């Protein structure tokens, strides 16, 4: 070791000389790379070699592409020795150079590396953001290999944050890409994560199927060096599923198979410890007198390599073992050690297990530990919901930014093209005017003056008509905005607000669907500005289906029960377009008022035609109001205005705490 340090010192001093020629520098780089990857050296020695590489590249390399290539190799070396802060510093250098060169591929790769940094340091929201940024760039570059890897890391984060459905969905997408590009290692990783996600959902039978697929998939992987580790990982996952299913005999048999893998303790000691511990636990579950020697062996190795999770988990198994022997002294000792380690390392699930054991080990203080258990459990559930919501917001807000950038870019192009056209026409017009004789120019000016006077006179004559038309148009736009667009926005806002009240998976999934409806509102606004109102309404199709869709949206958006009876197609389609449109808006406005103010549990709607009249009835069992004392808002005024426009009769009856009924009768 002494000779190695002296040798390194010489390399370091020579390596820092910026005046050396490139062949000598490259030789040193090759040597340093080789030494920094030597697992037989201690961490301090490897780290010094990596630092020397960074100094050489920083001082001697001027070509950006070669410098970036070396920086990526340096970052990987830092990551391998768990020097995460140096890893992120080098990655940020790569990102800065790549952005200055507008190098999309290396920008995406650097963002992927930043995602790895934040994931490794348990900052999952930041990791998710950078993976998402890298994913979008890889999509644009059609780089399927890196795209799949990035998506899989997003799936890992979702699984870590207990969004197992989201993780499963994302992993299936990755599996499709992996099959398309025939990446056998990636297919294996997808099978593993699908098994873990399904275990998280409690679907152990299906999880077992995917873990067994991952075990079978190993034979398709060409890299022989990784196969023992992958096999041990797959076997450990299968055994763990058997433990959850209570099939302890099968679990013990599969863990025993894993322990037969040669040299596993040297190449992957953490996996070896897990297999020994889980094998011992399955034997203990079959026979309470077995398992202790395996627990002790696993504990000694785990403590030696200082693997925190192993140290905690094995001690928890020992607590359970000694509790079965009624040896509360040893059980309490191991439980206190596990509790302290879990709290220090923020392994909250394991903290909950130790608190549960405390209620058995210290029954007199059981109430205190039970309260602490409940408090921590509730806190963890709340934190999980917040984390999942935050990841959803990151993805949504990122998409919004992209849309905004595209819109700004489109507007800029339109302005640029318009400006060029205006300038071109201006120059052309100037040339034409310049070539005209002064006599013709004077004649043109006189005719133009006369035309201007005629236009001004017409403007004065039509001023009153224009003012009246403006008033009507303002009224029409106001009604459309209030009755249609604002109602839809209110529905979308209500559905998204549900996230803060009951943010479970079902509500999140349903709410995401309403994000797409924002674009529909955008189209409605565009329609108000550019199309005739009646044409827009009639183009929506079958009138009955339009009404049924309105009722269906009501049922999906609000919890109020809604009963509906609508006249048959052959009857209702004979109504004029004017009546159809206004009846639709009256129903829409009435439902909106009920949702906002009535606090109703049941809405009954009836629409039918009888003896040349259309009848509409909408009733609710809400809080009601005094019709005589209530001031008419925009909504009620619009309902009355629309009723008048179709020569209908409107009746609104209501009593406090007895609900409200809106009745409409229109002659056809």
356, pLDDT greater than 50: yes
524, pLDDT greater than 70: no
Write out the H or E segment, with its range, that includes residue 14.
helix 2-15
Q: Is pLDDT larger for residue 71 or for residue 6?
A: 71
* Mean pLDDT over each residue of the chain, to the nearest integer: 79
Band of pLDDT at residue 534, cut at 50, 70 and 90:
very low
Segments of 87-200 assigned E as strands: none
Q: Is pLDDT larger for residue 393 or for residue 141?
A: 141
624, pLDDT greater than 50: yes
Averaged pLDDT for residues 516-541: 55
Could you please report the per-residue DSSP string of 60-98? Answer: H---HHHHHHHHHHHHHHHHHTT-HHHHHHHHHHHHHHH
Averaged pLDDT for residues 175-194: 92
Q: Is pLDDT larger for residue 544 or for residue 348?
A: 544
* pLDDT at res. 409: 59
Class of the 542-667 domain?
Answer: alpha beta
Q: Which two tokens stand for residue 440?
A: 């013709």
Give me the residue label for tokens 């005209």.
436
24-54 per-position pLDDT tens digit: 888 888 888 888 888 788 888 888 888 888 8
Q: Which of 138, 126, 133 is nearest to 84 (CA)?
A: 126
2, pLDDT greater than 50: no
List the Cα angle 182/235/221 in 5-degree steps: 25
Strand-strand pairing, 561-566 and 602-610: parallel
| Helix, strand, coil percentages, rounded to 5, for the chain | 80, 5, 15
Q: Which two tokens stand for residue 286?
A: 């079959």
* pLDDT at res. 35: 84
Phi, psi of 654 (to 5 degrees): -160, 150
19, pLDDT greater than 80: no
User: Phi-psi region for residue 599, left (φ > 0), alpha (ψ -120 to 50) or beta?
Assistant: left
Whole-number Å distance between alpha carbons of 148 and 618: 53
* pLDDT at res. 526: 54
Band of pLDDT at residue 184, cut at 50, 70 and 90:
very high
68-102 per-position pLDDT tens digit: 888 888 898 888 888 889 998 999 999 898 999 99
* pLDDT at res. 82: 80
463-477 per-position pLDDT tens digit: 555 455 456 556 666
Looking at residue 220, the DSSP 8-state letter turns out to be: G
Whole-number Å distance between alpha carbons of 498 and 484: 22
18, pLDDT greater than 60: no
Protein fold of 24-142: 1.25.40
* pLDDT at res. 159: 80
Whole-number Å distance between alpha carbons of 47 and 53: 10
* pLDDT at res. 124: 76
Give me the residue label for tokens 């192993």.
310
Q: Which two tokens stand for residue 227?
A: 């196969």
Q: Which two tokens stand for residue 592?
A: 């909106």
Whole-number Å distance between alpha carbons of 104 and 7: 41
Q: How many CB atoms lie within 10 A of CB 3?
A: 7
List the Cα angle 329/330/334 in 5-degree steps: 120
* pLDDT at res. 650: 92
User: What are the CA-CA distances from residue 213 to residues 126, 217, 231 (Å)?
Assistant: 32, 6, 11
Give me the residue label for tokens 């043109």.
444
* pLDDT at res. 667: 92
**pLDDT-wise least confident of 251-255, 577-581, 632-636:** 632-636
What is the percentage of the chain residues whose pLDDT exceeds 70? 75
Q: Is pLDDT larger for residue 6 or for residue 559?
A: 559
Q: Which of 148, 164, 146 is nearest to 110 (CA)?
A: 146
User: What are the CA-CA distances from residue 486 to residues 473, 479, 543, 589, 594 (Å)?
Assistant: 18, 10, 21, 10, 15
Contacts of 416 (CB under 8 A, 6+ apart): none
* pLDDT at res. 476: 62
Give me the residue label for tokens 């000792």.
333
* pLDDT at res. 359: 82
Q: Is pLDDT larger for residue 616 or for residue 629?
A: 616
* pLDDT at res. 567: 86
Domain range list for the chain: 24-142, 395-540, 542-667
Return the bridge partners of 610, or none.
613
Averaged pLDDT for residues 635-660: 88
Whole-number Å distance between alpha carbons of 540 and 521: 14
Q: Which of 175, 246, 227, 237 is nearest to 207 (CA)?
A: 237
* pLDDT at res. 4: 37
User: Phi-psi region for residue 202, left (φ > 0), alpha (ψ -120 to 50) or beta?
Assistant: left
Q: Is pLDDT larger for residue 404 or for residue 629?
A: 629
457, pLDDT greater than 70: no
Averaged pLDDT for residues 133-157: 89
Q: Is pLDDT larger for residue 612 or for residue 10?
A: 612
- 3-state class (DSSP) for residue 620: strand
Write out the H or E segment, with its range, that includes residue 164.
helix 164-181
């Amino acid at each position: 070791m002494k000779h190695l340090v002296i040798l390194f010192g010489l390399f370091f001093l020579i390596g820092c000389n910026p005046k050396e020629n490139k062949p000598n520098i490259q030789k040193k780089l090759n040597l340093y790379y080789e030494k920094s990857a030597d697992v037989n050296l201690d961490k301090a020695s490897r780290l010094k070699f990596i630092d020397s590489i960074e100094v050489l590249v920083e001082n001697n390399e001027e070509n950006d592409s070669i410098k970036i290539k070396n920086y990526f190799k340096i970052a990987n070396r830092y990551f391998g020795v768990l020097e995460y802060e140096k890893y992120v510093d080098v990655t940020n250098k790569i990102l800065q150079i790549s952005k200055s060169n507008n190098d999309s591929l290396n920008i995406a790769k650097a963002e992927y590396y930043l995602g790895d940094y934040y994931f490794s340091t348990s900052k999952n929201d930041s990791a998710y953001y950078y993976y998402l940024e890298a994913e979008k760039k890889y999509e644009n570059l059609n780089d399927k290999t890196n795209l799949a890897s990035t998506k899989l890391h997003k799936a890992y984060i979702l699984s870590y944050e207990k969004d197992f459905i989201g993780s499963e969905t994302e992993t299936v997408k990755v599996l499709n890409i992996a099959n398309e590009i025939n990446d056998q290692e990636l297919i294996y990783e997808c099978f593993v994560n699908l098994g873990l996600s399904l275990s998280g959902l409690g679907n152990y039978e299906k999880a077992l199927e995917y873990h067994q697929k991952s075990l079978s998939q190993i034979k398709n992987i060409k890299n022989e060096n990784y196969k023992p580790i992958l096999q041990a990982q797959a076997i450990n996952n299968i055994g763990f599923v058997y433990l959850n299913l209570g099939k302890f005999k099968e679990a013990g048999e599969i863990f025993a198979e894993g322990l037969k893998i040669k040299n596993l303790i040297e190449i992957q000691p953490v996996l070896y410890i897990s297999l020994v511990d889980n094998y011992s636990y399955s034997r203990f579950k079959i026979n309470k007198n077995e398992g202790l020697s395996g627990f002790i062996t696993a504990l000694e190795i785990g403590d030696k390599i200082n693997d925190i999770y192993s140290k905690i988990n094995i001690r928890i198994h020992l607590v359970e073992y000694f509790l079965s022997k009624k040896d509360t002294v040893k059980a309490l000792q191991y439980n206190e050690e596990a509790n302290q380690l879990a709290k220090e390392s923020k392994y909250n699930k394991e903290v909950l297990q130790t608190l549960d054991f405390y209620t058995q080990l210290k029954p007199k203080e059981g109430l205190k530990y039970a309260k602490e258990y409940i408090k921590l459990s509730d806190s963890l559930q709340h934190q999980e919901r917040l984390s999942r919501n935050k990841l959803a917001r990151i993805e949504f807000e990122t998409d919004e930014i992209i849309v905004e950038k595209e819109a700004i870019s489109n507007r800029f192009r339109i302005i640029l093209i318009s400006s060029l056209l205006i300038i071109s026409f201006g120059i052309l017009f100037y040339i034409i005017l310049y070539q005209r004789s002064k006599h013709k120019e004077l004649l043109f000016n006189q005719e133009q003056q006369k035309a201007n006077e005629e236009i001004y006179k017409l403007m004065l004559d039509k001023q009153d008509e224009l003012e009246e038309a403006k008033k009507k148009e303002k009224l029409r736009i106001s009604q459309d905005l209030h009755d249609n667009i604002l109602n839809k926005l209110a529905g979308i806002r209500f559905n998204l607000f549900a996230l803060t009240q009951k943010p479970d998976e079902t509500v999140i999934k349903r709410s995401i669907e309403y994000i797409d409806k924002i674009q529909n509102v955008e189209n409605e606004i565009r329609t108000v500005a550019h199309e005739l109102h009646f044409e827009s309404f009639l183009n929506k199709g079958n009138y009955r289906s339009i009404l049924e869709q309105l009722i269906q949206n009501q049922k999906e958006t609000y919890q109020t029960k809604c009963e509906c009876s609508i006249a048959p197609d052959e009857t209702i389609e004979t109504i004029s377009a004017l009546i159809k449109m206004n009846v639709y808006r009256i129903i829409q406005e009435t439902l909106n008022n009920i949702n906002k103010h009535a606090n109703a549990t049941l809405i009954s709607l009836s629409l039918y035609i009888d003896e040349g009249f259309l009848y509409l009835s909408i009733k609710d069992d809400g809080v009601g109001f005094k019709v005589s004392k209530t001031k008419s808002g925009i909504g009620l005024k619009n309902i009355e205005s629309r009723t008048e426009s179709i020569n209908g009769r409107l009746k609104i009856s209501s009593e406090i705490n007895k609900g409200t009924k809106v009745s409409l009768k229109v002659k056809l």
